[in-house]
Structure 1
Amino acid sequence: MRLRLTEFRPRIGPHEHRVVQPRHTLRHASLTAPEPIGLLLGDHDGLNRLAGLFSFAAYSRHTIVHVPLRDGVPPDEGWGERVDLVLAHHSYGLRPSKWPELRHALRTGAPLSVETDQARTRDDAEAWRRRQTYADFRDELRHATHARTFFLFGSRDAFARTAVDLAWAADWGPRQKGADTGASVLATGVSPKQPPGGGHPYEVLVCFKKPAR
């Protein structure tokens, strides 16, 4: 998949960061953070482009992927406050509390086009699924919500697995019963690492919804 992005190189103190955003708004995609259940609602284009962005994030350890999902068309269903999405590798060390300062520094960007490797993404997603059965498996997405932004921190394989799930949702959703009438259809989910102590598990439900005419 070819992604058209905008690349920023803001400098905060002595450190330069690389942040990319989709060049064009995902008009019919929205996200509410899990408290403990969130909702990612999107049409075929929105879910497919998100799949591409997760794939790009998987192989971009030194890049922050920022998806301003609050800029799209407000959804006519769902719950909670809409949030943006940020993807970053565990190893990047991004702290959510520092994100507002970094986001404010995203002023002048340059166009960037990249091609994701779908075969490699599928292979790495399958490797993640195989390792998930191991007793010592720890390769899960971590999450946080701060400043109207939902953060997912992960590894190459964890992001690849989510990319494949989102691509499947983009393809499968439109073909399900009721989808052609504009009803939302549950397609998959994103289950980040659960906090200790039990309670209701955290999850983001991923639903396909055909945009209204």
Structure 2
Amino acid sequence: MRLRLTEYTPRIGPHQRRVVRPRTPLRHTSLSAPEPIGLLLGDHDGLNRLAGLFSFAAYSRHTIVHVPLRDGVPPDEGWGERVDLVLAHHSVGLRASQWPELRRRLTHGTPLTVGTDEARTARDAESWRARQSHADVRDELRHATHARTFFLFGTRDVFAQTATEFAYAAGWGPRHKRVAEGHMAFMTAFTLAEPPGTGGHPLELDICYKAYPPYAHFRRPGERATRPRRPAAAS
């Protein structure tokens, strides 16, 4: 997949960060943080590009991926306050409390186009699934919510696994019944590791597909688009 991004390199103190954003917004995709269940609701374009962004994040250990989602088209169903999304490796050392200052410095960006390798992503996702079958191995997404932003911190393989889940949701969501009538379709859910010492239960983020209106234009994969009949010519 080709991703069209904007790249920023803000400096805070002695540290320079690399932050990328989608060059065009995901207009029909929204996110609410888990309290205790969150919802990511997106159309095919939004879910497909999120698959690419998670794949890019998996192999960009020193890059912060920022996906603005608060200012898209408001969803007509769902729950909770809308938030933006940030992806970062644990090794980046980003703290959620640092984000507002960093976000203010994202002012002068440069265009960037990158490609993702779906075969490599699938291999690393499979490696993650194989390791998770061992009770003593836990490689999970960790999270935080701050300043109307939802942060996911992970490793290469767990981001790759998440990318494949989004690709599945983008590919199979349009095939669900009743989505052509505007109903959302539940596709998958992510269990999120609870921060150490909280004593709480793991949280959940539901991933759902939803086509955007007008629904009369929606076609499932493989369906022929019907063209409007032209009026008969005057005799």
TM-score, with length taken from structure 1: 0.98
Q: Which residue of 2 aligns with 1:31?
A: 31
Q: Which residue of 1 aligns with 2:217?
A: none
Q: Which residue of 2 aligns with 1:163?
A: 163
For 1:108, give the aligned amino acid.
Answer: H
Q: 2:178, 2:126 → 1: CA distance? A: 30
Q: Which residue of 2 aligns with 1:117?
A: 117
* 2:199 pairs with 1:197: yes
Q: Which residue of 2 aligns with 1:49?
A: 49
Q: Which residue of 2 aligns with 1:208?
A: 209
Within a 5 Å distance, the mapping from 1:107-186 to structure 2 comes to 107-186=107-186
For 2:124, give the aligned amino acid.
Answer: D
Name stretches of at least 5 consecutive residues in structure 2 with no aligned partner: 215-235
For 1:102, give the aligned amino acid.
Answer: L
3-state DSSP of counterpart to 1:125: helix
Q: 1:180, 1:146 → 2: CA distance? A: 35
Q: 2:74, 2:135 → 1: CA distance? A: 42
C-alpha deviation, 1:97, in angstroms: 0.2
Q: Which residue of 2 aligns with 1:17?
A: 17
Give me the CA root mean square deviation: 0.9
Q: 1:192, 1:21 → 2: CA distance? A: 23
1:84-132 deviation digits (Å, cap 9, x = unpaired): 0000001110000000000000000000000000000000000000000
3-state DSSP of counterpart to 1:123: helix
TM-score, with length taken from structure 2: 0.89
C-alpha deviation, 1:194, in angstroms: 2.9
Q: 1:61, 1:188 → 2: CA distance? A: 26
Relative contact order, higher structure (CA 8 A, sep 6+): 1
Percent pairwise identity? 71
3-state DSSP of counterpart to 1:27: coil
- Which structure 1 residue ranges, 4+ long, deviate > 2 Å from structure 2? 194-199
Name stretches of at least 5 consecutive residues in structure 1 with no aligned partner: none
Q: 1:207, 1:85 → 2: CA distance? A: 16
1:146-199 deviation digits (Å, cap 9, x = unpaired): 000000000000000000000000011110111111100000112111355244
3-state DSSP of counterpart to 2:139: coil
For 1:197, give the aligned amino acid.
Answer: G
Of structures 1 and 2, the larger Rg is shown by 2
Q: 1:157, 1:29 → 2: CA distance? A: 24
Q: 2:21, 2:106 → 1: CA distance? A: 10
Q: Which moved more, 1:172-181 or 1:61-70?
A: 172-181
How many equivalent pairs are there? 212
